[in-house]
Amino acid sequence: MPQASTSPLATYIEHLKRGELGYQFSPSLGKAVFYPRVIAPVTGAADLEWRVSKGLGTVHATTVTHPAKGDPYNVCLIDMDEGFRLMSRVEDIDPFAVKIGQRVKFRVHPAEGDEDPYPVFTPAEGV
């Protein structure tokens, strides 16, 4: 269990460094909470527990961004099976081929330079 002085963001990043997608669960709400925070939304309870996602989700929404320099890439909202949603992208597929309702699986985009690791997704074949 993380120390009380460890911020929720630091704990989340530590999970990513271990290859895990950490999220919080609030017993007072009876549901998952994401983005990591100190107290539960709605109830204000400090009852948040850290859990690790199994890493499977479904594309809720997707769009393609066209940067001035570089190739187009997708930005997606992913509904995780544990009941929380996060913004990310789906890799290893043409950004225009990502579809709403598509099953995806989590992986960590490793830290580069001063950048922390972050979650990305790939198509989940056969799931």
**DSSP code of residue 95:** G
* Domains defined for the chain, CATH in brackets: 8-123 (2.40.50.840)
Rounded to an integer, the average pLDDT of 6-28 is: 94
Q: Locate tokens 């699986």: which residue?
A: 105
* pLDDT above 70: residue 108: yes
pTM: 0.87
* pLDDT above 70: residue 26: yes
Q: How far is CA 115 from the centre of its chain?
A: 16
Rounded to an integer, the average pLDDT of 19-45 is: 93
pLDDT, residue 6, reads 84
Q: How confident is the model at residue 1 (pLDDT cuts 50, 70, 90)?
A: very low
List, edge to edge, every strand of the sheet that includes 85-88. 85-88, 73-80, 56-65, 103-109, 118-123
CA distance linking residue 121 with residue 59, whole number of Å = 10
Contact 23, 32 (CB under 8 A): yes
What are the tens digits of pLDDT across the range 56-71? 999 999 999 999 999 9
Bridge partner residues of 86 (DSSP):
78
On the CB side of 92, CA atoms within 13 Å amount to: 11
Bridge partner residues of 70 (DSSP):
none
